[in-house]
Amino acid sequence: MIYLDHHATTPCDPRVVEAMLPYLTQHFGNPHSDSHEAGREVRRAIDQSIDSMAAILNAPRESVVITSGATESINLAIRGVLMHPRCKRHQVVVCETEHPAVLEVADDLSKQLSAGGQPIEIIRVGVHPHDHPSAGQVDLVQLRAAVNNQTALVSIMWANNEIGSVAPIKTIAEITHEAGALLHCDATQAVGRLPVDALASDVDLLTASAHKFYGPKSTGFLVVGNGNRRVRLRPQIVGGGQQRGLRGGTLNPASIVAMATALRIAIDEMESDTSRILTLRELLWGRLHESIDGLQLNGANWHDDSSVRLPGNLNVRLRDVEGEAWMAATPEVAFSSGSACSSTEALPSHVLLAMGLTESEARRSVRFGVGRFNTADEINSAADQLIASHQKLVG
Closer to ligand PLP by Cβ: residue 177 or 217: 217
d(CA 355, CA 387) in angstroms, rounded, equals: 27
Give me the residues that bind ligand PLP (CB under 6 A), please.
Answer: 69-71, 99, 101, 157, 161, 186, 188-189, 209, 211
What's the closest the beta carbon of residue 71 comes to ligand PLP, in angstroms? 3
Instruction: Report the alpha-carbon distance of residue 131 to residue 167 in Å, rounded.
Output: 17
- What is the Cα 304 distance to its own chain's centre? 24
Nearer to ligand PLP, 97 or 151 (CB): 97
CB of 26 to ligand PLP, least distance (A): 28
Among residues 218 and 296, whose Cβ is nearest to ligand PLP? 218
Closest separation in Å from C-beta 39 to ligand PLP: 28
To ligand PLP, the closest distance from the beta carbon of 137 in angstroms equals 15
Contact 338, 367 (CB under 8 A): yes
Catalytic, 12? Answer no
Q: Which is nearer to ligand PLP, 208 or 382 (CB)?
A: 208
- Distance, in Å, from the CA atom of 121 to the CA atom of 119, rounded to the nearest integer, reads 6
Report the residue number, 7 or 27, with the smaller CB distance to ligand PLP. 7
Specify the residue, 42 or 351, whose C-beta has the smaller distance to ligand PLP: 351
Which phi-psi region, left, alpha or beta, contains residue 160 (left: φ > 0; alpha: ψ -120 to 50)?
beta
Out of 12, 87, 185, 341, the active site residue is 341
Shortest Cβ 100–ligand PLP spacing (Å): 8
Decide whether 211 or 363 has the Cβ nearer to ligand PLP.
Answer: 211
Least gap, CB of 125 to ligand PLP (angstroms): 17
- Catalytic site residues? 341
